[in-house]
């Protein structure tokens, strides 16, 4: 019922995308989102090799016949990564939607367009959205300062970034950062977005494979329980506030170098935290919207709930006269 250029382009029922989450967006979560009518996105960097990514894609194909995507995060990493290998694995497995993030996808656009892949690019600056459009991506995702993961260095919130991006590009815009329910969904559409991406909300879902203790922390967390770290290395990240992330922030405050920070911010430690349920084992990315999350529903309950409540919001807006005089 919410038909946008995004639902048409991606061949999905609802304009709701699941944000790629390293260690978390694996076959179970991805297939659940796609089966519920959204777009599930596999995080390729969860897998140490392209071969393992390929296996996860095969597993996902066994769990859903609906479209899903693979995310290629082009960010500085401790280990060197051959991105072409990952992209080729996805293409050869028949994935026809690829999301890039973190850096301009320009070096990979020929590879992607030759394979007739639909390219989504996620970024946190309006000017990066314009660059992505110029290099030929099909749609752009813009995330605001509230977002879990990497919301950029400019501290601009979704309410400002979304309409600015919509004004700046002609391709469809997907909005992320701070969206968890029908209110955020409708607001994003009102700002001109044609789809939304949610990370933190899907992290707190039944199909997301995290330790029950981490789930409990998410349920207890309020909107002020996140921190921005890694600013000093120009890779700002919004993470759950814990003793561990506070320590990283303190180290940055005292002028720690990248080499000194690396053992703390490495993804492997985050993996350990998710698996062992120890919030102080590593960094846990998390959005401010965690303060609005009070339950652990299934993915289908999340998506169906948003769609049905969005209708009620439409009715309420109608009742207060918003649509008066419209055909
Ligand atoms: C635990 C976690 C891990 C994430 N990992 C990645 C990642 O590997 N690559 C990426 O492009 N975005 C990553 N993100 C960002 C999400 O895909 C999404 O853009 C963001 O969560 C949206 O904001 P929200 O958390 O307010 O919904 C991550 C987010 C979270 C919460």
For residue 327, what pLDDT is reported?
63
pLDDT tens column, 13-46: 999 999 999 999 999 999 999 999 999 999 999 9
Closest CA to 39 of 62, 21, 60, 13: 13
CA–centroid distance, residue 131 to ligand 1 (Å): 21
* Ligand 1 atom closest to the CA of 288, numbered from 1: 26
Q: Is 177 in the pocket of ligand 1 (CB under 6 A)?
A: yes
CA–CA separation, 27 and 55 (whole Å) = 10
Closest CA to 43 of 271, 273, 296: 271
Nearest C-alpha to atom 1 of ligand 1 is from which residue?
285
CA–centroid distance, residue 149 to ligand 1 (Å): 4
Closest CA to 147 of 202, 193, 70: 202
Q: Is 21 in the pocket of ligand 1 (CB under 6 A)?
A: yes
Q: Is 289 in the pocket of ligand 1 (CB under 6 A)?
A: yes
CA–centroid distance, residue 18 to ligand 1 (Å): 9
Q: Is 122 in the pocket of ligand 1 (CB under 6 A)?
A: yes
Taking 70 as the threshold, does the pLDDT of residue 193 lie above it?
Answer: yes
For residue 233, what pLDDT is reported?
96
Query: What beta strand segments (E) does 79-199 contain?
Result: 97-101, 118-123, 139-143, 173-176, 195-198
For residue 75, what pLDDT is reported?
86
CA–centroid distance, residue 58 to ligand 1 (Å): 23
* Ligand 1 atom closest to the CA of 148, numbered from 1: 25
Closest CA to 117 of 133, 97, 135, 138: 97
Q: Is 73 in the pocket of ligand 1 (CB under 6 A)?
A: yes
Q: Which residues contact 216 (CB under 8 A, 6 or more apart)?
A: none
Q: Is 287 in the pocket of ligand 1 (CB under 6 A)?
A: yes
pLDDT tens column, 121-148: 999 999 999 999 999 999 999 999 999 9
Nearest C-alpha to atom 4 of ligand 1 is from which residue?
21
The runs of H, that is alpha helices, within 100-199 are 109-114, 126-135, 158-168, 182-190
């Amino acid at each position: 019922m919410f038909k946008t250029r995004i639902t048409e382009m991606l061949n999905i029922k609802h304009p709701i995308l699941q944000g790629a989450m390293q260690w978390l967006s694996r076959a179970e979560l991805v297939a659940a989102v796609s089966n519920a009518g959204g777009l599930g996105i596999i995080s390729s960097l969860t897998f140490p090799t392209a071969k393992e990514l390929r296996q996860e894609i095969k597993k996902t194909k066994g769990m859903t016949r609906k479209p899903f995507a693979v995310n290629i995060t082009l960010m500085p990493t401790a280990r060197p990564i051959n991105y072409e290998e990952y992209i080729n694995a996805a293409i050869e497995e028949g994935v026809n939607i690829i999301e890039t993030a973190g850096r301009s996808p320009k070096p990979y656009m020929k590879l992607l367009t030759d394979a007739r892949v639909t390219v989504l690019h996620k970024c946190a600056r309006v000017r990066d959205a314009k660059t992505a459009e110029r290099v030929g991506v099909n749609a752009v995702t813009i995330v605001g300062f509230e977002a879990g993961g990497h919301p950029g260095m400019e501290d601009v919130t979704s309410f400002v970034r979304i309409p600015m991006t919509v004004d700046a590009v002609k391709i469809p815009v997907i909005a992320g950062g701070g969206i968890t329910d029908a209110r955020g969904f409708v607001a994003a559409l009102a700002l001109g977005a044609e789809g939304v991406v949610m990370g933190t909300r899907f992290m707190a879902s039944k199909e997301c494979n995290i330790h029950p203790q981490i789930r409990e922390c998410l349920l207890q967390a309020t909107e002020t329980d996140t921190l921005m770290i890694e600013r000093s290395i120009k890779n700002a990240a919004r993470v759950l506030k814990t003793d561990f992330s506070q320590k990283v922030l303190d180290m940055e405050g005292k002028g720690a170098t990248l080499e000194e920070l690396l053992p703390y911010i490495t993804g492997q430690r985050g993996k350990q935290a998710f698996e062992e349920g120890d919030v102080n084992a590593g960094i846990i990315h998390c959005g401010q919207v965690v303060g609005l999350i009070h339950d652990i529903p299934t993915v289908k309950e999340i998506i169906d709930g948003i769609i049905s409540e969005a209708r009620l919001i439409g009715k309420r807006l109608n009742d207060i006269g918003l649509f008066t005089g419209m055909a």
